[in-house]
Structure 1
């Protein structure tokens, strides 16, 4: 006589039953993770950013992601404090935003984050005095002109990368945070890097990657410190975006334009302490993490070594032309 299914299961050795249960749980966990991924990237609504306050402060708003985020924030009916080093570019961005969103109030603050920070932070403090600054986006960042070994990074470049990517974020955040704490609401968005979360290393761009690791750790800790006061602190992690910093001109599915990336970025503000806002980047991150670390290390080293060699050739040609060796 054939056994019924229940009797067949009981007849199996104990380890087989354990394996079946574990297999079922793994499949269920994967299915739930996939459903959550679809929900957060394509279904979950964006938060109403005006609940944090009526003003947003953006550093690095004259180009790339920072510029696009400034437009997106204005589109969410927030007034803007734009912090950049070039007044002419700040005015161009302000005029363009006002032309698109006529009711937006904008204050431009000229600060060179690689320069005298004490004077610059004082200017920011004066500009935001009395304003309900509910959103802070620390987007300004500096990297190498091209990849190079650590010992090839000159003192001035080392100072600029560390000051803009680390010290400036500390100082700007410290200027804005007390107001948020007083009102018990706010959102701080720090732009991190896939060089920290997606890859095991970032050779030949080591100082930049190290500064972004600081941004990640600072954001995570501030998230814990500030969440009980109604302040959401978040580190957003882009991979390649078609900007001047990345030196990529043409956008694609996995290398979005700043506008495409910023639309995804806005939808994530207020959710999770660390996130990869653009969905194709999350797929890239998962695939990179699944590969053997030594293989990724080897590939990145070769990739950046080629960039270094090409950059050195360009520098040589440029310097030779300036010295009169090459005449066009």
Structure 2
């Protein structure tokens, strides 16, 4: 039978054979990509994060994704350096973690990333001196209170977006890296955003999206710079997560809870330089990639204009 098929193929014109070969290769490539997606999302084991070091440093750990990361890392047996601006919230989170994971050592560092950042980074350096900080989660970030055009963004918000999202992430990374380089191991996770990677534009959130694009490129460059030094650098790209920043209270299939996201996120640390850990988000990413950019731009603009209108109504009610 194989000989018969082979003879029939030989009798076909060359252009048809080329067409069939390209079709077969396309099907093979698609099948392999599906198998890889299944493996990395459901079968690939997470790395033992304690192999990087016994301490993890997390910025923005008092709410949302950062808080969930803190609990999940403590569950994995890591000690924590929690960096946030509110000492009372830091204390509450620390006590909650210790009540659940009593053996966890925790050090709190009060840093206002929108304030005197150099002084704050100096305090971080003092606290981590002598600690084998093996995992860094750069989670701290700010966004708009609601969608607005660039000319409506006030100077304080503009400054905070750049200082917290760009300068804060950069300087904390720079403070932690020397210890990792010395020990020849470490994992750095920078929290990016689908606003900068998944969709072609994020109108009315332009500065926020641009700062997250910086985080993505910054992460990729560091991944290449430090890979041979035993340091894994990764930019995680979540889409919507049920957080205060996203103004979403309830989780759903496509919008995970912060704990759901953090559990998925830990399994990806140490692998690809860019990823979206929560697997339903990857389905939305694939959908967005298949649509014309003009369609996504138009949909996103309409969606954000609706957010802007609701935000303006809330502001006007507060003033009354």
TM over 0.5: yes
Deviations 1:111-135 (A, max 9, x none): 1111100110111111101100000
Deviations 1:264-321 (A, max 9, x none): 000000001001101000000010111110010000001000100110111011012x
Partner of 2:230: 230
How big is the shift at 1:4?
A: 2.6
User: How many pairs does the alignment contain?
Assistant: 318
Match status 1:178 vs 2:178: yes
Deviations 1:44-89 (A, max 9, x none): 0000101110000000000000000011111111000000011111
Secondary structure at the counterpart of residue 109 of structure 1: strand
Partner of 2:217: 217
| Structure 1 Cα separation of the partners of residues 107 and 254 of structure 2 | 34
| Structure 2 Cα separation of the partners of residues 77 and 85 of structure 1 | 25
Unpaired runs of 5+ in structure 1? 321-328
Partner of 2:244: 244
Match status 1:130 vs 2:130: yes
Partner of 2:299: 299
User: 1:1-328 counterparts in 2 under 5 A?
Assistant: 4-320=4-320
Q: Normalized against structure 2, the TM-score is what?
A: 0.98
| Structure 2 Cα separation of the partners of residues 20 and 314 of structure 1 | 60
| Structure 2 Cα separation of the partners of residues 179 and 75 of structure 1 | 24
| Structure 1 Cα separation of the partners of residues 170 and 91 of structure 2 | 26
Deviations 1:76-113 (A, max 9, x none): 11000000011111111111111111100000111111
| Structure 1 Cα separation of the partners of residues 121 and 167 of structure 2 | 11
| Structure 2 Cα separation of the partners of residues 290 and 52 of structure 1 | 38
Unpaired runs of 5+ in structure 2? none
Secondary structure at the counterpart of residue 82 of structure 1: strand
How big is the shift at 1:12?
A: 0.5
| Structure 2 Cα separation of the partners of residues 309 and 59 of structure 1 | 32
State the superposition RMSD in angstroms: 0.8
How big is the shift at 1:185?
A: 0.5
Q: Normalized against structure 1, the TM-score is what?
A: 0.96
Secondary structure at the counterpart of residue 114 of structure 1: coil
How big is the shift at 1:7?
A: 1.6
- Give the 4+ runs in structure 1 shifted more than 4 A: none
